[in-house]
Structure 1
C-alpha cells in the first residue's frame, strides 16, 4: 500500500514539473535534445579571419618596404569594404548569409539586399558576416572588394546607425559622390616623405579555393591572408595620380589567399 502511494506521489510530482525549455533545432549552435519545449535558438555565424600581411610577415606601420622600382614607403593604414559574400558548398551550390538589409532610397523606393557588408581595416582581424545555415564541404569562397552597384550611391543616413555604411571613414567616401571601395594611406619616401592616400571606387571580385568541412550547428570560420605589398609592388609611389585603377584593383584581388599567415 505504502509503495503504491509513493509511486502515485512521484507521478503527480512529475506531471506538475515545469517543461524544460531549450533549442530543439538541430541546425542551431545551442541544440539541446533533452529539452521539452523549443526556445531561444542561436544559429551559426559565418566569420572571416583575416591575417594582414606584408609579404611573409604581419604588416606593421613602422616597417619600411621597397617596391619593384626601389622606392621606399610605409603603409600607415588600409580601409576597404568587403561584401557580396558567397560559399560554394559541394552538392548544394552557392550559399549566402540569411541576414537582409532594407533601406529607403531618396525617391521613396525600397531596396533590400544581403546584409553582409564589412568595413575592413588593419586594426581588426575577425569579422562576423552573418547567420549561415549550411553543412558539407566548402569548395570555395567568393566576395567583392567594394559594394554592389545598387548601394554605391545610397545616402549613408539611410542605413542603421550601427551599420558600416552609416558612418564610413572619409577615405571610403568618393569625392565625386557615393561610396569608395578601397583606400590605402602611405608615407613615401619612407623617411620624411609625404603622406599619400590612394583610393578607388571600382569594385572587384575575389574567388578562393577553400576545401573546408563544416558540420551542422557549428560556426563557419574562413581564414584568409591579404598581402598589402602586392597592392604597391608595381606602382610608382611618387606619382599616385598615374595609377591605372582597373589594373590596381586586379592586383588587389590577387593579394588574397585562403589560410592564415
Structure 2
C-alpha cells in the first residue's frame, strides 16, 4: 500500500499521527507521513518517531518500493512495533531551511530565463544550481534581483496538469538531465506569483514556503565555471 504523503497537502505539518506498516533496519514504513523522501535534489527529512514506551531517531528518509517511504533509523535506534501508533515529528528547523532554500532556487531560475538547468542540490546551509549558460550575470546583480523577489512576498502554490498538457508545453521543464516522474497521468507544478503572470512555474515535487517573504535575505555566494558553458550558482541564506 502506498504511503500517504501528508506533506504534499501540508508542507507545514510538523507532527502527524501514523501507524507502523513495516519495520526493518533499512527503514520504517508508515501508513502516512509528513517526512519528505530524498528526491529531485532535495534531501530526505530527519526527525523522530515516538510511540508508547519508545522512540526512534530518523536519520534520513528515502523512497521505498511500491510508492512507500522509508524512515531510516539512526545507528543503534530501536524499531517501533508493527501496527504501533507513532507520532512522526520533523526536525522542523532543518526542514524549514530546506523549504526556504528550495523556493529561492526557483526564484533564481526565473532570473535566468532560457538557460537549461544541468544539475542542482538543495541544502540547509547552501544550495546550488548549474546552468547551461556561457555568460552569467554577476553575483551582485543576481543577489539584488533575488531579494527584490523575496521582498515582494509573492504567493507560492501548486497546480496539477496532465502529462499531455506537459508534452504540449515542454518549456515548463527547465532541467536538462532529469524529467518529471511519469506514470500517474498528472504532473505537479509549483507556481510562484499570480496565476495570470507567474514569476516562476515549473514541475517540482519538493516542499516550499507559502510566500517568498518567508525566505529572508538570500545571497549568491559564488558563480563557478564548471565547463565550457556550465555555470554553478551557489546560494546561501544570509546572516544565519
Could you tell me the TM-score, scaled by structure 2's length?
0.29
Question: Which one has a bigger Cα radius of gyration?
Answer: 1
| Larger helix proportion of the pair | 2
TM (normalized to structure 1)? Answer: 0.27
